[in-house]
Structure 1
Amino acid sequence: MAEVRLNIVGREYIVTCRDGEEQRLLELGRMVDTKAREAGGSAGGLNESRQLLFAALLLADQVNDNGGSASAAQAQPGSIDDATATRMAQSIEKLAERVESFASGLEQATRRA
């Protein structure tokens, strides 16, 4: 297993992956960073959890839009097939739900403190 250091909105995350997948993971990390910065810029004052939630939602929306037809996916470099796009969108949606749940828990804990 390999370790990759991702920098998402100025915070470093160490993620493990299979050997040989490091470059792809770095590329995906850059995409998440871009979307997280976009999410944070459009709705100032977001905490980290919500910023990552909105980044995940923006990415899910992008995957959904791009995965809608094979011709759209083939037109983009590094594109993915429809089945992969669907699985990715489902994974991102599950992640978004988990992040939202985590963010809600943090907000409740903050209110109680």
Structure 2
Amino acid sequence: MANIDVEIGGRRYTVACKDGEEEHLRNLAATVDRRAHDAAGALGNLPETRQLLFAALLIADDLKEVRSGMGLPDPVPPPPDPAVAEALERLAARMENFAETLERATPSD
């Protein structure tokens, strides 16, 4: 297991990786650093946590665009449409009422 130092958003981090993956990890860190600088440049002076949050969101957006361009599905389904959820709730209530009506109409043994 190798340890390398990377710099992201002006701060140095020591990160462990498998032997032989050092250069790959440095490249990934450079991408995160670049997006952290993009976020800071677009939004002004940000606390480190917010800068890294926005960098992660920018990278996730990049990944989503690449996946959609390649025809790959988004691994995280979008949240349900509130209108669909409401319609399903109304339908469930109607079904429950219908079931209760059937139970009352069925003669008991």
What TM bracket, shorter-length normalisation?
A: 0.5 to 0.7
Q: Larger radius of gyration, structure 1 or 2?
A: 2
Runs of at least 4 residues off by over 6 Å: none
Q: Which has the higher helix share?
A: 1
Q: Name stretches of at least 5 consecutive residues in structure 1 with no aligned partner.
A: 72-81, 91-113
Quick one: distance in 2 between partners of 1:11 and 1:52? 11
Give the whole-Å Cα distance in 2 for the aligned partners of 1:20 and 1:47. Answer: 33
Structure having greater relative contact order (Cα 8 Å, sep ≥ 6): 1
Determine the C-alpha separation between the residues in 2 that align with 1:4 and 1:65.
30
Tell me, which stretches of 5 or more residues in structure 2 are unaligned? 77-109
Question: Which residue of the partner structure matches residue 58 of structure 1?
Answer: 58
Give CA-to-partner distance per residue, 1:12-63, whole Å, 9 cap, x none.
0000011111111000000000000000011112100000000000000001
Q: Structure 2 length as normaliser, TM-score? A: 0.63
Where in structure 2 are the equivalents of 1:37-52 lying within 5 Å?
37-52=37-52
How many percent identity over aligned positions?
43
Q: Name the CA distance, whole Å, in 2 between partners of 1:39 and 1:69.
A: 24
Task: Give 2:36's aligned residue.
Answer: 36
Q: 1:25-104 residue pairs with structure 2 within 5 A?
A: 25-70=25-70, 82=72, 86=75
Partner SS for 1:20: coil
Tell whether 2:19 aligns with 1:19.
yes
TM-score (norm 1): 0.61
The CA distance in 2 between the partners of 1:9 and 1:56, in whole Å, is: 12
Kindly tell me the number of residue pairs found equivalent between the two proteins: 76
Match in the other structure for 1:2: 2
| Residue 9 (structure 1) shift | 1.9
